[in-house]
Amino acid sequence: MKRFHMYDDHDRVTTPFHSHATAAEVIHGVDLTGRRALVTGGASGIGVETVRALAGAGAEVTIATRNPASAADFVRDLTAAHGSGSVRVAALDLADLLSVDAFARTWQGPLDILVANAGIMAVPERTVSAQGWELQLATNHLGHFALATALHGSLRQADSARIVIVSSGAHLTAAFDFDDPQFERRPYDRWTAYGQSKTADVLLAVGARRWATDGIAANAVNPGWINTNLQRHIDDATMRALGAIDEEGNIIPQPYYKEPTQGASTSVLLAASPLVSGITGRYFEDNQEARPVQGAEEQPGGVAAHALDHEAADRLWDYATATVTAVLR
Strand partners, 164: 115, 219
CA dihedral 225, 194, 310, 182 (to 10 degrees): -170
Residue 146 CA to residue 40 CA, distance in Å, equals 13
**8 Å CB contact between 96 and 129:** yes
Q: What is the DSSP string of 160-194?
A: SEEEEEE--GGGGG----SSSTT-SSSPP-HHHHH
Amino acid residing at 148: A
**8 Å CB contact between 285 and 262:** no
Find, among 110, 219, 148, 162, the residue nearest to 2 by Cα: 162
**8 Å CB contact between 264 and 26:** no
Helix (H) or strand (E) holding 164: strand 161-166
Cα 282 to chain centroid distance, Å, stands at 13
Residue 256 annotated as catalytic: no
For residue 106, give every residue at least 6 positions away whose Cβ sits within 8 Å of its Cβ, in sequence order, or none: 90
Considering the candidates 194, 256, 283, 319, report the single residue annotated as catalytic: 194
Find, among 277, 315, 260, the residue nearest to 51 by Cα: 260
Could you list the active site residues?
194
